[in-house]
Amino acid sequence: MPHTPLDGKRLLCFVGDIYEDLELWYPKLRLEEAGAHVTVAGPQEGVTYAGKHGYPCTSDAAVADMEVDDFHGVICPGGFMPDKLRRDENVLDLVHDFHTHKKLIAAICHGGWIPISANVYRHVRVTGSPGIKDDLVNAGAVWEDAAVVVDRHFVSSRKPDDLPDFCRGIIGVLTAR
């Protein structure tokens, strides 16, 4: 099998009820195609969560069992899911640990709510859904209206239409290390 750019990279992706279907599945499949192993973790292991548009996703693991040392980065899809997951101390501690270790933190659309609540966006250039622009700015982030914003180990995008740029940003950060 030929070498792919993300061979050996391990990524964590959050899932929960009413996740944005494309914002989870597109990066998961694209990054696996590039050679990464993607673990999907939700509040509980082995539970099937319904996406905003009804597409199911069964969690590989429970967030509480995840450790930052096992991964090169984390992906925070949007939808309504981030509003609930941002209240889970395990999620927040994990995202904060990814920041402490300067590992990839990627958020798209409303997924930015999770890094906001983990208190890792201060002085970070980001984008996201225009609906959370004020939340991002109030958290100390520097707002940019762009398809993708890459600032050190942070990658952010606005909406499903930005997914190709979002995935290129993620791959760029992971291959630069």
The catalytic site residues sit at 110
Residues 56, 14 contacting (CB under 8 angstroms)? no
Please choose, from the candidates 48, 37, 33, 47, the residue with its C-alpha nearest in 3D space to the C-alpha of residue 75.
37
Q: Which residue has the tokens 């040392």?
A: 69
Pairwise CA distance, residues 90 & 95, whole Å: 9
SS3 121: coil
Q: What is the 3-state secondary structure (H, E, C) of 58-93?
A: ECCEEHHHCCHHHCCEEEECCECHHHHHCCCHHHHH
Q: What is the 3-state secondary structure (H, E, C) of 9-73?
A: CEEEEECCCCECHHHHHHHHHHHHHCCCEEEEEECCCCCEEEECCCCEEECCEEHHHCCHHHCCE
